[in-house]
Amino acid sequence: MRGMAAVVGIPVAAGLVVLPALGCQPSPPDATVETTEARTTVEWRFDEPQPEWQPLVTMNPNTRPVKVERTDDALRLTLDESNNNLYGDPRGGIVIDLPQWNGWAWGSILVRARSSEGIQGFFVAFNTVPGEPGTSRSPFPYEFYSPGAETVNDGTVQTYLLRVRAQARTDTWDRLGLWVSADAPATFDVLSVSVVPDEAVPAAYLAGTTSRLMESAITGRTYQISVALPQGYDDSDRAYPVLYALDANGQFGTMVETARLLSTPGPPREPRDNIPELILVGIGYPVGYRKDVGTPRELDMVPQGSSVVPNSLRFMREELIPLIEAEYRADPDDRALYGHSMGGYLAFRALIHGEETFQRFIIGSGFGPDAFELEAAFADAHDSLAARAFFARGLLESAEGAASWRKLFEVLDGRQYRGFEFEVRFFEDENHMSVIPVTISRGLRYIYGKE
């Protein structure tokens, strides 16, 4: 049988990479296998019939399975209005039954695909949830899933590599599915699906990190949620503090590796107050680079009035945090929130409106026109604020903004809220962007330092 040697040794820079088409040679119509010393790579190619792959019947009786048809080189999934989810966006996929595969044996999934405009992304998933189709309002039918892949919609063939999440690797796989998301009618052509053993793909540079797509019923938006676990997580049974980081598209990598370095003991004669090992949760959007987040970020972070609890905060409190604390050993009494710029102002609003959802805050360069009104309304009803917060700003940012910050912190200092500790730092020679790394480093050391 012709194998898949072409996939061996593909570099992986994170939980997901998009590579140019690999140009693999055609294979026999059935799934092909290349034997390695310990495990095998399994590939299904769709330039020939693969009848085992079928449209997935969703859990929502009002959502029809996607239309599936063969082209010369692929299996085409057509998504239209009949596949809409509760928010009016087409969703659907294909699935194959597996003969009780051992989930521990596999590290990654390779998908070669071609997508049209309208496709948002996809992920692979394993095993269907209990229950009969048509018994749930949610169409999503899977138990475990991989990080999500943002697609390149220029009509070219791309190869997507997706890591298998840790939860899926502890169970038997009896089904493998491909779940596609769109925001308009579109087509998604699958040329091949390959299941790759651990030893065929190097570990990601940002180790111990996975991501997923998460739809919010509160905001109506789709988020890319990344989770970075501490190195010793699998070898312990203790609960860990959790830090939730906004603007993950641009700042999550800096946050993760800074936190990991600061939790590492230094030389015996070097004074260092180490921070604890953390679970880090990045809240971003499935668009790739930070410069592309645009409208979703603005809708989540622009003030909605001082008396309104932001829907993005409700998403964290009512949807995201319960999910994280159900799936990971997360300490529910030790949550932190980080945000910079608009994210910093959302973090400030969480400090005021959060009902003590978070106990620690790192807030960088965030200020809004209703900050004083927001704080005054809170002060009228409260004399305590159980939180520890670090605020930072670069002195190369606007002088007007710095003056407003100083005035706000004079007000906060004068309130003498019981239980509230905070520190404010203005960093010389730092602008709105360059201040981010020092904000993260100094902020982590303050909020997790000796109290």
Q: Which of 150, 183, 200 is the last residue of a domain?
A: 200
| pLDDT greater than 90 at residue 419 | yes
Residues 205-228 have pLDDT tens digits of 688 888 887 888 888 888 889 999
What range does the domain containing 326 cover?
A: 209-447
The answer to whether residue 8 is domain-embedded is no
Residue 107 shares a structural domain with residue 250: no
Residue 130 is assigned to a structural domain of this protein:
yes
Q: Give helix 342-353 / helix 294-301 axis angle, nearest 10°.
A: 30
C-alpha dihedral, 398 to 400 to 405 to 406, nearest 10°: 110
Whether 161 and 284 map to the same domain: the answer is no
Does some domain include residue 7? Answer: no
CATH for 176: 2.60.120.260
**Confidence at residue 188, expressed as pLDDT on a 0 to 100 scale:** 96
Pair 287, 293: CB distance under 8 Å: yes
Give the mean pLDDT of the chain: 81
Report if residue 183 sits inside a domain.
yes
Look at residue 271 in the predicted model and tell me its pLDDT: 58
Q: Are residues 132 and 271 in the same domain?
A: no
Confidence of residue 86 (pLDDT cuts 50, 70, 90): confident
Domain assignment present for 172: yes
Number of domains in the chain: 2
Over residues 228-256, the pLDDT tens digits come to: 999 889 889 999 999 999 999 899 999 99
What residues contact residue 130 under an 8 Å CB cut-off, 6+ apart? Answer: none
Q: What pLDDT shows up at residue 219?
A: 87
| Nearest-angstrom CA–CA distance, 200 and 180 | 26
Closest CA to 339 of 328, 348, 330: 348
User: Would you say residue 6 lies in a domain?
Assistant: no
Task: Specify whether 315 is located in the same domain as 275.
Answer: yes
CA 62 to chain CA centroid, nearest Å: 28
**CATH number of the domain that residue 386 is part of:** 3.40.50.1820
Q: Are residues 55 and 104 in the same domain?
A: yes
- Report residue 99's pLDDT band, with 50, 70 and 90 as the boundaries: confident
User: Where residue 27 falls among pLDDT bands split at 50, 70, 90?
Assistant: very low
Q: pLDDT confidence of 130, banded at 50, 70, 90?
A: low
If pLDDT is split at 50, 70 and 90, which confidence band does 200 have?
Answer: low
Asked whether residue 4 is assigned to any structural domain, the reply reads no
Cα dihedral 253, 259, 265, 266 in deg (nearest 10): 70
Together in a domain, 165 and 238? no
Which of 131, 166, 200 terminates a domain? The answer is 200
Residue 41: phi and psi, rounded to 5, are -100, 130
Indicate whether 134 and 266 sit together in one domain.
no
Cβ atoms of 372 and 405 within 8 Å: the answer is no
d(CA 15, CA 210): 6
Same-domain status, 163 and 218:
no
Q: Are residues 153 and 57 in the same domain?
A: yes
Q: Which residue has the higher pLDDT, 289 or 271?
A: 289
* 115 shares a domain with 32: yes
| 343 domain-assigned | yes
pLDDT tens, residue by residue, 151-199? 889 888 888 888 776 556 556 788 888 989 999 999 999 999 988 886 6
The 279-284 sheet, strands edge to edge: 209-215, 222-228, 279-284, 240-245, 330-340, 360-364, 384-394, 418-427
Give residue-wise pLDDT tens across range 302-358.
656 555 678 889 999 999 999 999 999 999 999 999 999 989 999 999 998 878 899
Residues 176 and 215 in one domain: no
Mean per-residue pLDDT, 69-95: 90
- Whole-angstrom distance, CA of residue 421 vs CA of residue 361: 10
- Which of 142, 172, 200 is where one domain is finished? 200
d(CA 88, CA 65): 15
Spacing of C-alpha 32 from chain mean position: 32
Domain match, 29 and 104 both: yes
Q: How many CB atoms lie within 10 A of CB 350?
A: 25
